[in-house]
Amino acid sequence: MLGQSFAAADGFAMRPAHRDALVVKPGYPMALEGAAELVFRDGLNGFAAIMQRQRIAESELSKEDTPGIGGEVHFVEITTGGIAQFLAHRFDDYHQMYESMLRKFQRL
> How many other C-beta atoms lie within 10 A of the C-beta of residue 47?
20
* Number of domains within the chain: 1
Range of the domain at 58: 3-107
Q: Can you tell me the mean pLDDT for 81-92?
A: 87
Q: How confident is the model at residue 21 (pLDDT cuts 50, 70, 90)?
A: low
pLDDT in tens, 53-70: 888 888 887 766 665 667
> Tell me, what's the pLDDT at 78?
74
Q: What is the DSSP letter of 44?
A: H
Amino acid at 67: P
Q: At 69, is the secondary structure helix, strand, or coil?
A: coil
Averaged pLDDT score across all residues of the chain: 75
Q: How confident is the model at residue 23 (pLDDT cuts 50, 70, 90)?
A: low
Cα 82 to its chain centre, rounded Å, is 22
